[in-house]
Chain A
């Protein structure tokens, strides 16, 4: 079965500092990978998704970027954090089977506080 690792679990960073959140997956090959952000008490906002190595689609313009250097690794980055970047960041994977999919599996999340 698939497993998703995210680190760090929690992070407190000052405004203007860089960011790197890592997501790695096990137990599957060639998954679709997603980064979501959830502000406190709010729903999930899709940030990026990737259907393969080096392939990144961005859903919203912002100061964040994503990269997929390896099949099972998905990285979320920022050069300069803003206060509004605070939130709960979730990585998710999805395994496509015969062209259809059923659920996305989510990682444990990273809680980011920008001060």
Chain B
């Protein structure tokens, strides 16, 4: 069974609008971490934001925020005030446990920002 599911292969958003990229996860481990990465066309993977399973508040980093709904096992990424430079692939990932376990990535969502 897939541990990370990103159901949106592609998304379009108007410049300056907000967009939500969906991510659901599956784990029975009470300790886990959730990550979002951005991959522009150059191929580099850029870390955006992290949410721990015990964190009480939703993580925020500048224009990025993570809508963490633990009961629903979802960790959606919200990008506010989209910019043309936000056009990229976005990957959700999870680590089960706290140490020495690898990240599991979803298949990604391609975001296109339209002027």
Binding site for B on A (CB under 8 A): 32, 34, 36, 42-44, 46, 49, 51, 57, 59, 88, 90, 92, 96, 99-106, 108-109, 111
Contact = CB atoms under 8 A, between A and B. Distances in A.
Contacts, number: 57
SS class of chain A's interface: helix, strand, loop or mixed? strand
A109 B91 contact: no
Closest 9 CB pairs of A and B: A106-B45, A103-B47, A43-B107, A44-B105, A109-B43, A49-B102, A102-B50, A43-B108, A51-B100
Given A34-B103, A88-B43, 19 more contacts: A34-B102, A42-B107, A42-B108, A43-B91, A43-B105, A43-B106, A43-B107, A51-B100, A96-B100, A99-B98, A99-B99, A100-B99, A101-B95, A101-B99, A102-B50, A103-B50, A104-B35, A106-B46, A109-B44
Contacts of B45: 44, 90, 92, 104, 106
Contacts of B43: 88, 90, 108-109, 111
B35 A103 contact: yes
Interface of B: 33, 35, 37, 43-47, 50, 52, 91, 95, 98-100, 102-108
Contacts of A36: 105
Contacts of A101: 33, 95, 98-99
B99 A96 contact: yes
